[in-house]
Amino acid sequence: MTSSQNDSLFILIKSLSKSEKRQFKLYVNRLGVNADAKFLALFNLLDKMNDYNETEILNSGIVKKQQLSNLKAHLYKQILVSLRLNPVNQNIRIQIREQLDFATILYHKGLYRQALKILDKVKSVAIENQEKVVAYEIVELEKVIETQYITRSISGRADELAIQAKNLSVQNVLTSKLSNLSLQLYGIMLKFGYVKNDEEYQRVTEYYKAHLPKFKMSDLGFREKLWLYKAQLWYSFLTQDFLSSYKYATKWVELFYDNEAMIYLNPVFYLKGNNYLLESMFYVKYRSGFRETLSKVEKVLHSDKFPKNDNTEVLGFLYLYYNKINLHFLEGSFEEGLKLEPEILSGIKQYRNKIDIHHIMVFYYKIACLYFGSGDNKSCIRYLKKIIDNKNLSMREDLMCFARVLSLVAHYEAGMDYHLELQLKSTYKFLLKMDDLHEVQKAMIKFLRNLGEIYPHELKDEFIKLHKTLKSYESHPYEKRAFLYLDIISWLESKIRNIPVGEIIREKAAELTR
C-alpha cells in the first residue's frame, strides 16, 4: 500500500493553502463539472484524510480499484492547471511561456501575422529578463513561420533571425557547460565533503580546469556570470580556499543587487548566493559582515516584493536559521542560540515533506553544538544520536564522521565514560571505513583512549599537550576542516583555563573586532 510520504497526489493536496483549495473548487465549477464528479469527490476525501489510506478510498465507493490510478492522474493534472492559473504563481517566466503557447496556437490556425507580432514582443521580454533558452525557442518558431508567411523583407529578416539564433545558441551552450560543471562540483561536495589530501586536490583541480569552458568576461550576461560564479565557488569550497569562496559568493550576490529585477525573478538563486556568502564569512570569521548580510537578506525575504511560495518559504527557513545559529557560534552565545530550538523543530515539522533528511541532520548537528557549547552534554548526545543512528543518511559523510567525534567528547564531558572504550573502537572503525581518519581525529581518539591512565593532577598538562598538537593543524590545508565542524581548540582552552567555552569564543570574537 502506498504510504502518505510517497503518494504524490496526497502530498500535493496537503501542500495546498486554503485559498488554493478554494480556487481549485472554483476552477472545477468553471469547467461546468458536476459537484458529484469522481475526481472532485476524490479531492474532497483526500483533503479530509490525515494519512493516505487506499482502503478507505476504495470503501468510499468513489472509484473501483482498476480505475483509481487513472482518476488520481486526472485529479493531479487538474490541480496543476488550477495552480498555474493562480495569480500568485504568475511570474515573468510563466507569462513568456504563455505568450509562446498563444503564438503557437495562432500559427496552427494560419494566423501568421498575429503569431509573429506576439513572438516579436515576447522575445524582447525574454531577452531582457535573461530567459535565453525560451528566447531561442521563440526565434526558432519565428523562423518556421517566416518560411510560410512571405514578406518583401524576408531576406533581411532571415539574416536577422539567423544571427539571433546563433548568438542565443552560443550563450545557451556556454550556460549549459558552466551549469553542468557547477552541478558536478556540488555533487562531489555532497558525497565526499572537502578534499582530504593532495591526490584529491589534484583530481578535483584537473576536473575543474578540464571542464571550465573558454570565454571572454565581456561576453557574459547575467545568467552566464551566475553559473560561472557558482562553479568557482564550489571549487573554492572543495579545496577549502575560503577567502576565494568569500570572493565568488560576494560576486554572486552583487550580481543580483546590480540587477535587482533578477532577485524577484530568480529568488532561489538569490537566497542560495546569500547563504553561501554567509557560510564563507563564517569560515573566515568575518562577524560584522556576517551580521550585516544576514540582516539584509532577512529584510529582503520579508519584503512585499519578494515572491512568496512554498519553495522560497522552505529555503528562507533553512538559510535564516542555519545562519542565525552560526552567528551564535561566531559570538559564543550558545545559551542565547538555544532559544531558536523550538522555532527550528516547529519549522522541521511544518516542512517535513519538503526538507530532505540531510538538511534536518545538519540542524540536529548545529543544535547539538549549541548544547555542547552551553555545557548540556546529555542533550548534545541526544541530538548526535539522531545522526549516528540514521541508516538513510547516504550523503554528507563528513557530517556523520564529526558527529561521532563530538559524541565521544560529549560523553567524556558528561562523565558517561563507562562505555567510552567501546565507542572509541566503533568510531575508529567507522572513520577507517569512510577513509576519513586524519591527524586531528587520531590525536583526539588517542587522548580519549589514554584518559583512564591519566591521574587527575596530570589532566591539565595533557590538555595543554593536545592543544599544542592540534594548534599546529589549524592552518593545515586539509586538517583544518576538522575545526569547521567542531571548535575543539576553544574547548581545550576552556579546559586549560577552567572557564566556559562560550567565554573563550567571545574573547576571540572581541579580538577580531579590535
**DSSP assignment string, 365-410:** HHHHHHHHHHT-HHHHHHHHHHHHT-TT--S-HHHHHHHHHHHHHH
Rounded to whole angstroms, the Cα distance separating 320 from 290 reads 12
Q: Give the count of domains, the chain.
A: 1
Secondary element (H or E) of residue 40: helix 38-48
Please compute the mean of the pLDDT values over residues 225-230 and round it to a whole number: 94
Q: Which domain holds residue 72?
A: 8-89
- Residue 453 in any domain: the answer is no
Rounded to whole angstroms, the Cα distance separating 237 from 297 reads 22
Q: Which residue has the higher pLDDT, 188 or 235?
A: 235
For the CA atoms of 7, 12, 14, 16, what is the dihedral angle to 10 degrees? 180
How far out from the chain centre does Cα 346 lie? 19
Rounded to whole angstroms, the Cα distance separating 470 from 487 reads 11
Secondary element (H or E) of residue 194: none
Whole-number pLDDT of residue 153: 52
Whole-number pLDDT of residue 318: 95
Whole-number pLDDT of residue 326: 93
Please compute the mean of the pLDDT values over residues 178-203 and round it to a whole number: 87
Whole-number pLDDT of residue 1: 45
Rounded to whole angstroms, the Cα distance separating 377 from 483 reads 19
Q: Which residues contact 69 (CB under 8 A, 6 or more apart)?
A: none
Rounded to whole angstroms, the Cα distance separating 195 from 50 reads 45
Please compute the mean of the pLDDT values over residues 316-334 and round it to a whole number: 92
The pLDDT of residue 352 is above 50: yes
Rounded to whole angstroms, the Cα distance separating 93 from 127 reads 11
Separation in Å, CA 56 to CA 64, 148, 212, 223, 498: 12, 57, 55, 49, 62
Rounded to whole angstroms, the Cα distance separating 287 from 201 reads 29
State percent of the chain over pLDDT 90: 39
Whole-number pLDDT of residue 446: 76
Whole-number pLDDT of residue 390: 81
- Residue 32 in any domain: the answer is yes
Under the banding of pLDDT at 50, 70 and 90, the label for residue 514 is very low
Under the banding of pLDDT at 50, 70 and 90, the label for residue 33 is low
Residue 349 corresponds to which cell in the numbers above? Answer: 515539522
Type of residue found at 242: F
Whole-number pLDDT of residue 100: 93
Give the number of other CB atoms < 10 A from CB of residue 92.
16
Rounded to whole angstroms, the Cα distance separating 473 from 14 reads 50
Among the residue ranges 111-115, 162-166, 448-452, the one predicted with the least confidence is 448-452
Nearest to 182 by CA among 133, 238, 241: 238
Type of residue found at 85: L
- Residue 26 in any domain: the answer is yes
Give the number of other CB atoms < 10 A from CB of residue 151.
12
Rounded to whole angstroms, the Cα distance separating 249 from 264 reads 19
| Residues 467, 496 contacting (CB under 8 angstroms) | yes
pLDDT tens figures, 398-417: 677 778 878 888 887 887 76
Q: Which residue has the higher pLDDT, 499 or 380?
A: 380
Under the banding of pLDDT at 50, 70 and 90, the label for residue 36 is low
Rounded to whole angstroms, the Cα distance separating 481 from 475 reads 9
Give the number of other CB atoms < 10 A from CB of residue 179.
17
Rounded to whole angstroms, the Cα distance separating 406 from 168 reads 52
Whole-number pLDDT of residue 317: 96
- Residue 31 in any domain: the answer is yes
- Residue 55 in any domain: the answer is yes
Type of residue found at 249: A
Q: Which residue has the higher pLDDT, 61 or 432?
A: 61
Under the banding of pLDDT at 50, 70 and 90, the label for residue 393 is low
- Residue 110 in any domain: the answer is no
Under the banding of pLDDT at 50, 70 and 90, the label for residue 452 is low
Q: What pTM value is reported for the model?
A: 0.78
- Residue 80 in any domain: the answer is yes
The pLDDT of residue 496 is above 50: yes
Nearest to 409 by CA among 350, 333, 461, 485: 485
Under the banding of pLDDT at 50, 70 and 90, the label for residue 92 is confident
How many residues are given for the chain?
514
Nearest to 10 by CA among 41, 48, 37: 48
Rounded to whole angstroms, the Cα distance separating 473 from 319 reads 30
pLDDT tens figures, 228-270: 999 999 999 999 899 999 999 999 999 999 999 899 989 999 9
For the CA atoms of 456, 459, 461, 464, what is the dihedral angle to 10 degrees? -160
Please compute the mean of the pLDDT values over residues 157-165 and round it to a whole number: 85
Angle, CA 365 vertex, CA 510 and CA 482 arms, to 5°: 65
pLDDT tens figures, 292-317: 999 999 999 999 989 888 889 999 99
Helical spans, DSSP H, in 49-193? 54-59, 65-85, 92-108, 112-128, 132-146, 154-192
- Residue 67 in any domain: the answer is yes
- Report the mean per-residue pLDDT for the chain: 85
